[in-house]
Amino acid sequence: MTILVTGGAGYIGSHAVQRLLRDGHDVVAIDTLFRGHARAMHLLARAFPGRLTFIHADVADRALVEGILRARGIRDVLHFAAMAYVGESVEEPLRYYRNNTLASLALIEACDRAQVERLVFSSTAATYGEPDASRIPIREDCPQHPINPYGASKLAVERMLADWCASRARAGRPVAVACLRYFNVAGSDASGLLGEDHHPETHLVPLVLQAAVGVREAITIFGADYPTPDGTCVRDYIHVEDLVEAHIRVLGALRPGEWRAYNLGTGRGASVREVIDACRRATGREITERAGARRPGDPPELTADPGAIARDLGWKARVTSIEDMAASAWRWMLAHPRGYDDGAGGA
């Protein structure tokens, strides 16, 4: 079976491509390479010869995507392609609606025309906005009221997918859709082939590890006056391989006409300070902290209740320790201190 992965050269997308290839699937990966890495695709193509097709393109190109789907007879899609920086979305909201929402509309239209049967959408906990404390840990029935354009752009896609799924069912040609809402992702694959490399880097774990390795002088804590136990933001972290496992398990479980939504996470939150301390333990190095102002659009706490997917599909995060997540990311960073650009591992 051939599966289409959008955003396949990105951090999460490349790990999903790797897992699918390991499972014996052929994969077509699409990525603009705006924030994805061609090198990740080269490494995977070399590791799995003849099984990966990488296409440097934009999912917003409906005709091109439809042609790929038809030519390869693709029936399953994992949709990761998106911009995902909260602060940037506040500064450039229209860019986020164009790249996340409108591009996804084009993809859905292409899938509709090409008779795709199953689509799993990589959504976000940011669709919930800033839930009342009584709603945390967050369940899937929590009202979705995003407080930043990033979350709003993803919620719009969820609603399009729900309407598409319902309309296809009424027309007698059902499609199956799942929206997976998750929190902060961390870690690298156990083989050491792939890692996390963003430009600019905004994710907390790699930022802290960059301070440990000397790429940056210190880690800035953006706000220490939140209504949390230590004053810093609390998030539910999930290891990238657990996240990918959930996507693939959901894809395999979907049946015609279904629309599902699941929260993914460990069910336990960690504060910024707790993450920094975990990185100190994982690396054995001193890490300098600096105080910074709050970032716009950051809720104080987001933790998941992953009970629904556990009950339905038996999925639970295997890596629950922030220190273990940081340790896997640290191994990759030590081997690739400049990310994919360092050329480690050959051409």
pLDDT at 59: 98
Is pLDDT above 80 for 345?
A: no
Residue 338: per-residue pLDDT: 83
Over the stretch 229-258, which tens digit does the pLDDT of each residue have? 999 999 999 999 999 999 999 999 999 999
| Residues 239 and 318 sit within 8 Å (Cβ to Cβ) | yes
When the pLDDT of each residue in the chain is averaged and rounded to a whole number, the result is 95
pLDDT tens digits along 79-138: 999 999 988 999 999 999 999 999 999 999 999 999 999 999 999 999 999 898 899 999
Please give the positions annotated as active site: 150
pLDDT of res. 346: 35
pLDDT score at 87: 84
Least Cα distance to 100 among 120, 115, 79 occurs for: 79
Average of per-residue pLDDT across 154-170? 98
Residue 125, number of CB atoms within 10 A of its CB: 26
What was the pLDDT predicted at 342? 62
Say what the pLDDT of residue 337 is. 81
**Which tens digits make up the pLDDT trace of 253-302?**
999 999 999 999 999 999 999 999 999 999 999 999 999 999 776 778 88
Sign of the dihedral defined by the CA atoms of residues 97, 100, 103, 106, in that order = negative
Calculate what percentage of the chain has a pLDDT beyond 90: 90
d(CA 261, CA 121): 9
Confidence of residue 183 (pLDDT cuts 50, 70, 90): confident
Determine the pLDDT at residue 86: 87
Superfamily name and number for 2-342: NAD(P)-binding Rossmann-like Domain (3.40.50.720)
Q: Do residues 242 and 317 touch, judged by C-beta distance below 8 A?
A: yes
pLDDT recorded at residue 297: 65
* C-alpha 56: how far from chain center: 20
Is the overall model pTM greater than 0.75, yes or no? Answer: yes
